[in-house]
Structure 1
Amino acid sequence: MAPSSKPPLMRQDSGAPIVDNQNSETAGQDGPVVLEDFALIEKLAHFDRERIPERVVHARGVGAHGYFIANGDFAGLSKAALFKSGKKTPVFVRFSTVMNYRGSPEAARDPRGFATKFYTEEGNWDLVGINLPVFFIRDAIKFPDFVHALKPDPVTNMQDMNNQFDFFSNAPESTHMLTYIYSDKYGMPINYRHMDGQGVHAFRVINDKGETHFVKFHWVSQQGVKGMDLKATHAADTNYATADLYKSIGEGNFPKWDLYVQVLTPKEAAALPYDAFDDTKEWLGVPEKKIGTMVLNKMPDNYFQETEQAAFAPGVMVPGIEPSPDKMLQGRLFSYADTQRYRLGVNYQDLPINRPLVKVQNDHQDGVMSIRPRKGHVNWQPTSRYDDPGAVVDETNPGMGIIRAEAPQNNRNNKSRYAVSGVVLKQAVHPTDNFTQTGEIYRSFSPFEQSEVVHNLASDMKMVKSHETKVRFTSYIYRSDKTYGENLAKALGLKIEEVKQAADHIPQTQVQ
């Protein structure tokens, strides 16, 4: 049966019709293709550029649309409009693995990215996290080194446990994260639906009274948290997690997460026995409270235009949410947005998947892929030419000769003020205490889970050639928990006396 109507006529990007998409234009029957076949040139040129630089980290991912409904008492702590009870906010979430390339297998011993873009009435908010509550390092200056050690070797182009554990054996703060990573439940999620999401960092929140609190955000999966052992991991399909999400949402089985927060006053944060802004630490003993629920109910219509071009950056915030002094977060504020400018161009936030719901007008102009409509002569500010369609104002220097020292204090969009002290210096977070929480998470595991984390760690560490690296890293485990260290030493065939001796020489600053 013939279709009731024909599809639209093929056209060039310029809008010109394409009457022959089957044959190149040639100089005679056997002659060469002519340069004036503009449709051919445009088609090939576009095809040559179909691939953009992939993300350095989080290259392999899958995204989904949904919504967030605020249903808890958080509006009194943050003036952000999305937290008003009953408020419904569209979201886009991208799940990902971290270290491998775009087409790599999803069953990797790797954190899982959990990035959420909220399209709020005050602009976008990106909560860019992972599925675990801590991270490997506490200072962004070490991030390129960390990634280099875990990425393919620059000579062999293969990931190498010798490189990875050489780094980890010289970065004792990673011990806590690695205990999570090498557990079955947390280190190898059975799919993206059965895992939590964590903001990892502390964030500063400000209410309408100007009061400050520090919070940590935690997505709690209503599906529960489930993981895989090594056997199941090795048997998993290359696309197992992506396939599960498409299947689940396609069948109307929409995954849900509740958003919880931990809250500390600045005084309470300062009283913790560790640095509250050290992202290798959890806020142990600080209660959580529920503030909303997220539902994912639609897969993207086009993977590239939405999931691949989705650009997340921790610095994308709304009034009421601000950075904390966390050194990793501070570095990410620059790095994440900058990598998106490299991948997608300086106007990446004008792409439909990244575009906020509010109308954007400012003095930014030109650059790669400039698509936001721009009119008028005025591309500067302040200005008195209010009749020009390009004119914009701010609250401090709105033009017309008005020059204030600062924005009015009652402006709800003002950022917070906070005191700082000390001198500019380069210094480690103090106290470091790299091992206490590692031991606590290990002891919270069941006996079977304890044996599995040792088994999983040993399976990778047996590939490490350096005896010194094995001993040094195992000494970190031993300082975290003696039984944990003794079991790993036994699994690796190391002499426990040698491990104990190395543990005794760990600098006191790394213990507490």
Structure 2
Amino acid sequence: MAKATTTNSGIPVGSDENSLSVGRDGPLVLHDFYLIEKMAQFNRERVPERVVHAKGGGAYGVFEVTQDVSRYTKADLFQPGRKTPMLARYSTVAGDLGTPDSWRDPRGYALKFYTQEGNYDMVGNNTPVFFMRDPSKFQDFIRSQKRHPVTHLRDNDMQWDYWTLSPESSHQVTWLMGDRGIPRDWRHMDGFSSHTYMWINAAGKRFWVKYHFLTDQGNEFFTQAEGDAMAGEDPDHNIRDLYDAIKRRDFPSWTLKMQIMEFEDAADYRFNPFDLTKVWPHADYPLIEVGRYHLNEVPENYHVHIEQAAFEPSNLVPGIGPSPDKMLLGRLFSYPDTHRYRIGVNYNELPPNRPRNAEVASYAKDGPMRQFPANVAAPYHPNSKGGPDAASQSGRDVSGWMVENADLVREAATLHRDDDDFVQPRALINDVMDDAARGRLVDNVVGHLKNGVSDPVLERAVQYWRNIDKTVGDRIASGVGKG
């Protein structure tokens, strides 16, 4: 026998299908509280989509340490033999909630680790760099990639107008227009912290680090034509692929490898190591294996566990800290702030965001949708009631670099001899890509530029690519009739 339907308060209802009315065909009545509840709930069952990374999917899994890196960090999740439950979410960046998965776009790469010392979040992309190095430019950049305010259409002219006026974007645009611009699916895609972080070991020694999550399935991509075809055939291809793989127990996995720089090396390294538009060449800082994660559990409800998941780079556990990367420092504020707006001030009480393996002892209280009382003896600090006290956690502060390296934060852009916006994308084209990949890059750029880009922006786009690499730039110029 089926269970009886109830209201949201658990009260049995009289009918799932028939509203109360005055007589058989008369008007409905206001006191049909179940009908009112159903309509009101339906009207409110969507939260605002993310402004950026709106469309995505994810799953739960486990991260396991495979190599001893305790000499670099005391972070609980990276200690030898540790296994840590986690949640992953992958996404497109610029599109809307209904955007096809196979459009050319960077992919978001967000991980939440439920460690024994609280939740640790790593928020990155499928590229090791980004379009800018300063957070004051981020809002303008995103608006240039979104829909035009007049036509409400995605607009290549806006995109190239912004990119060509921002030469620091050239490294990321080269990645975007190359093969990595349309991953075949999330399982065949790498992830990167992109940002530089700080690791601190048990002795207090500090290191600068970058995270590389390398797919164990191998990198695969769609050509532009394949991506366009898939957008029409199955716009939810990536979401479906991950769900189906886990359901058939083909659990995807990624190996975490780190680049690690001695703390003192940052000041005179040839590139600014905190510039989000730059990579550290592997010849300078080779990859060091740390561990591996695999995804093995599809969430029971997409909205609860994925749409309401809140990832924030400010979730830094002891042994991990920020760097002077200005984009990272801006995100430490902006991510929690957007969660408070989008899902509510008590978003950390929702199932995907609650710490699983650490006790919460916070003086935060009240606000809409509060589920749990503060786990404190009195709702204020200091108190004499035995409440928690941060002073008892000596040695856990990781913010000391802010004062010690204040000059480095202000002057980083002037300290490094090879800081040029086009050096690294040129190396990506000439040293990493083969002839076929360079040909696809040219074709992808030409196809993009020929689709609604105005003549003044087109002129700048040609020069933009000539600044990156003259041969590639000349081929693009010929392809768009500007040779």
Bin the TM-score by the shorter chain.
over 0.9
Indicate the larger mover: 207-216 or 423-432.
Answer: 423-432
The unaligned stretches of length 5 or more in structure 1 are 1-5, 387-391, 397-406, 496-512
Q: Residue 40 of structure 1: CA displacement?
A: 1.4
Matched, 1:278 2:265: no
2:152 pairs with one of 157, 160, 176? 157
Distance 1:467 1:429 in 2: 35
Determine if contact 1:210/1:416 at 8 Å carries over to the other structure: no
The one-character-per-residue Cα deviations of 1:303-339 (angstroms, maximum 9, x if unpaired) are 1111111111111111111110101111111111111
Deviates further, 326-335 or 6-15: 6-15
For structure 1, which segment, 164-173 or 458-467, has the greater mean C-alpha deviation from structure 2 after superposition? 458-467
Q: Where in structure 2 are the equivalents of 1:345-494 lying within 5 Å?
A: 345-357=344-356, 358-374=358-374, 378-386=378-386, 392-396=387-391, 411-418=394-401, 419-422=404-407, 432-443=419-430, 444-494=432-482
Distance 1:287 1:192 in 2: 25
Q: Which residue of 2 aligns with 1:27?
A: 22
Counterpart Cα distance in 2 of 1:468 and 1:430: 34
Q: For the structure 1 residues 487 and 370, does the alpha-carbon distance in structure 2 shift closer, same or farther, using more than 3 Å as the test?
A: same
Larger Rg over CA atoms = 1
2:8 is the counterpart of 1:9:
no
Equivalent pair of 2:102/2:237 in contact (CA under 8 Å): yes
Match 2:140 to one of 145, 150, 171: 145
Q: Give the 3-state SS of the residue equivalent to 1:342 in structure 2.
A: helix
* 1:150-199 Cα deviation digits (max 9, x unpaired): 00001111001011000001000111111111112x11111111110000
Aligned to 1:293: 292
Does the residue aligned with 2:129 lie in a helix, a strand or coil? coil
- 1:253 aligns to what? 250
CA distance in 2, matches of 1:150, 1:317: 30
Q: How many residues align?
A: 472
Q: Which residue of 1 aligns with 2:313?
A: 314
| Equivalent residues of 1:99, 1:150 under 8 A apart | yes
CA distance in 2: counterparts of 1:188 and 1:455, whole angstroms: 14
2:49 aligned counterpart, secondary structure: coil
Task: Tell me if structure 1 keeps the 8 A contact 2:363–2:374.
Answer: no
Counterpart of 2:105 in structure 1 is 110
- Tell me the secondary structure at the aligned position of residue 73 of structure 1: coil
Amino acid at match of 1:313: E
Residue in 2 that maps onto 1:502: none
Find the aligned partners of 1:433 and 1:212 in 2 and give their Cα distance: 28
Q: Percent identity?
A: 41
3-state SS, counterpart of residue 124 of structure 2: strand
Per the alignment, do residues 34 and 430 of structure 1 end up closer, same or farther by CA in structure 2, a change over 3 Å counting? farther
Q: Which of 235-244 and 427-436 deviates more? A: 427-436
Specify whether residues 493 and 364 from structure 1 end up closer, same or farther in structure 2 by C-alpha distance, changes over 3 A only: same
Q: How far apart, in 2, do the equivalents of 1:363 and 1:247 lie?
A: 42
Partners in 1 of 2:264 and 2:458 — Cα distance? 41
- Residue 226 of structure 1 corresponds to 220
Tell me the SS of whatever aligns to 1:193: helix
Aligned match of 1:59: 54
Q: Which runs of 5+ in 2 are unaligned?
A: none
Shift of 1:483: 1.1
Say which SS state the counterpart of residue 66 (structure 1) adopts. strand
Partner residue, 1:131: 126
SS in 2 for 1:252: coil
Judged with a 3 Å threshold, the aligned counterparts in structure 2 of structure 1 residues 137 and 374 are, in CA distance, closer, same or farther, namely: closer
The Cα of 1:427 is off from its aligned counterpart by 9.6
Tell me the distance in 2 between the aligned counterparts of 1:146 and 1:248. 35
Instruction: Measure, in 1, the Cα distance between the counterparts of 2:134 and 2:23.
Output: 66
Partner of 1:343: 342
Rounded to whole Å, the distance in 1 between the matches of 2:363 and 2:384 is 15
Match of 1:96 in 2: 91
Aligned to 1:180: 175
Q: Distance in 2 between matches of 1:480 and 1:375?
A: 56
The match for 1:166 among 158, 161, 164 is 161
Query: Does the aligned pair in 2 maintain the 1:63–1:95 contact within 8 Å?
Result: yes
TM-score (norm 1): 0.89
| 1:473 to partner: Cα distance | 2.4
1:133, 1:282 within 8 Å by CA — same for their partners in 2? yes
What's the RMSD between the two structures over aligned residues?
Answer: 1.9
CA distance in 2 between counterparts of 1:195 and 1:375 reads 41
Secondary structure in structure 1 of the residue aligned to 2:7: coil
Structure with higher helix content: 2
Contact (CA 8 Å) 2:60, 2:87: kept in 1 or not? Answer: yes
Deviations 1:120-160 (A, max 9, x none): 01000111111111101111110000000000001111001
Is the CA contact 2:160–2:457 (under 8 Å) kept in the aligned structure 1?
yes
- Structure 1 residue 375, shift from structure 2 partner: 7.4
Alignment correspondent of 2:192: 198
Asked if the contact 2:210/2:258 (under 8 Å) is kept, the reply is yes
**Residues 424/260 of structure 1: CA separation in 2 closer, same or farther (3 Å cut):** closer
**Aligned position for 1:330:** 329
CA distances 1:325-357 after superposition (whole Å, capped 9, x unpaired): 101111111111111111100000100111001
Paired AA for residue 115 in structure 2: T
Q: Are 1:71 and 2:66 matched, yes or no?
A: yes
Give secondary structure in 1 for the equivalent of 2:188.
Answer: coil
CA 1:394 to 1:299, structure 2 compared with 1: closer, same or farther past 3 Å? same
Are residues 198 and 422 of structure 1, via their aligned partners in 2, closer, same or farther at CA, if it must alter by over 3 Å? Answer: closer
For residue 438 of structure 1, report the CA deviation from its aligned partner: 0.8
Cα distance between partner residues in 2 of 1:8 and 1:459:
57
- Per the TM alignment, residue 290 of structure 1 is displaced from its structure 2 partner at its CA by 0.5
